[in-house]
Amino acid sequence: MEQDDHVTDFIRKPLDSSSYDEKWLQKLLFDRPDLLVTEKFDRPIIPICRELPLKSASATVFLDLFCVRDDGKPVLVECKLWRNPQARREVIGQILEYASLLQGLSFSDLEAIVGPKLSVSGPNPIFQAAKAFTPKLIEKDFVDRCHSYLAGGELDLIIAGDGIRSDIAGIRDLLESRGGLASRLSLLEVEIFESQQGDVLVQSTTQMKTQTVAMTVRSPHQMPVEDASAADESVIARSEGKSDWKIQCKQFWQQFIDELKLDHPAQDPPRHSVSNTVRLPFPKPASHITCFRVRKWKIVGVFVILDDTDEGRAYYLQLLEEKDRLEEEIGHVVKFSEKTDWSSNPFISVETTQFDIEDSTQEPAQLEYLHTHLNRFVNALRRRLP
């Protein structure tokens, strides 16, 4: 490199050295998203978060970088050192899995996943994070386009690392053997050069791009929420006495409502219901989710009752089939009942008997339990709405 009539020699450094590794590359690309831009990527890429946790069928996986273009199109970036063919196969499988976990989600579903990773407060944190980079963004257009890209499975995928150009043919063959690719995938070669003075030069070039392959993804659809009667809570009401206990319960649930923070932006807040319960409206094939405490049986929990219709039973069976994954996402045993003593409708709950409900010193722990498991319950069920 020539600078001020002086020529500085730069020597290429491998990314697997002690100074430069995958974590270093991940941070570099997050801080300098312009390195992700090539002549084909005509729209700017905006970094949103690092190490995004995604729930797979068997475990939680972590996407290195979640980004968006300024038109709302999601961009997934995975950093990998290409030391051997096995690493190449693994990273391609990983990024395709990440794409499959995100495609078909609604924008609200995406916010529920990404929101906890952001320091931005207030509504629509993804848009706010993007707007910080591109102030001229219009919220409605951005959200609508991002939702459309997700619903159609249109994502941009980038694998960034060193040594990519050494086996382009092998990578292309591997991709073709996978089949069913729904998004444009690009392989980004990142080279690091260092001078004797310690200056660092980074060069990125796109080595290969795949053509976008169209696919059909069922668009998320939510039926309008209808209010329901309190019949399913009546058994709880009958088990509670009157007088000061009701006042104590009302104060407990008011604190619960005041302190509740839900990840899913489409979920309306709870409201007081009968006696020792609150409930939240929920889309069909249900009508609401109930949070409850039963003093007589010392039970604290969350439940949803599904409609006694073909749609309700199908949704129940779908959730039952995914019971193990639901329990992993919620972090709790999930109970399924086709009917109860007080309702003939399918019933799903998360509940515990670990608390002495009448002991006011245990109320903070009860609130934490309900806040945590209601939030996870909502996210898990909304993600699977028909």
Same domain, 242 and 187: no
- Partner residues linked to 336 by β-bridges: 348
Calpha distance 267→370 (Å, rounded):
16
Tell me if residue 219 falls in helix, strand or coil. coil
Same domain, 8 and 144: yes
Give pLDDT, residue 163. 66
Q: Is 224 among the domain residues? A: no
Q: Is 271 among the domain residues? A: yes
Same domain, 7 and 136: yes
Tell me if residue 305 falls in helix, strand or coil. strand
Q: Decide: 91 and 113 in contact? Cβ < 8 Å.
A: no
Q: Is 349 among the domain residues? A: yes
Same domain, 198 and 111: yes
Total tally of structural domains belonging to the chain = 2
Same domain, 239 and 193: no
Same domain, 205 and 292: no
CATH of the domain at 344: 3.30.1460
Tell me the residue ranges of DSSP E strands in the chain.
2-3, 6-7, 10-13, 45-55, 60-69, 74-79, 156-161, 184-195, 200-209, 271-272, 277-281, 286-294, 299-306, 335-337, 347-352
Q: Is 216 among the domain residues? A: no
Q: Is 222 among the domain residues? A: no
Same domain, 204 and 249: no
Which residue in this structure is represented by tokens 């949103």?
48
Q: Which residues contact 301 (CB under 8 A, 6 or more apart)?
A: 291, 292, 349, 350, 351, 352, 370, 373
Q: Is 219 among the domain residues? A: no
Last residue in a domain, options 176, 209, 242: 209
Calpha distance 364→355 (Å, rounded):
11
Q: Is 137 among the domain residues? A: yes
Last residue in a domain, options 178, 209, 240: 209
**Which secondary structure element, helix H or strand E, spans residue 111, and what is its range?**
helix 107-114
Give pLDDT, residue 127. 94
Same domain, 23 and 104: yes
Closest CA to 145 of 218, 74, 229, 237: 74
Pairing of strands 74-79, 60-69: antiparallel
Amino acid at 240: E
Query: How many Cα neighbours within 13 Å face the side chain of 217?
Result: 26
Same domain, 256 and 354: yes
Calpha distance 374→377 (Å, rounded):
5
Same domain, 136 and 50: yes
Same domain, 150 and 23: yes
169-190 tens-digit pLDDT? 455 555 555 544 446 788 888 8
- Domain containing 50 equals 2-209
Question: What tokens does 374 get?
Answer: 């209601």
Last residue in a domain, options 175, 209, 243: 209
- Partner residues linked to 61 by β-bridges: 54
Q: Decide: 45 and 214 in contact? Cβ < 8 Å.
A: no
Same domain, 163 and 24: yes
Give pLDDT, residue 42. 60
Q: Decide: 252 and 363 in contact? Cβ < 8 Å.
A: yes
Question: What tokens does 331 get?
Answer: 């972090």
Which residue in this structure is represented by tokens 């609200």?
108
Show the low-confidence residues of the chain (pLDDT under 70).
1-8, 10, 13-19, 38-42, 82-89, 163-183, 207-243, 274-275, 339-343
Q: Is 217 among the domain residues? A: no
Q: Decide: 89 and 106 in contact? Cβ < 8 Å.
A: no
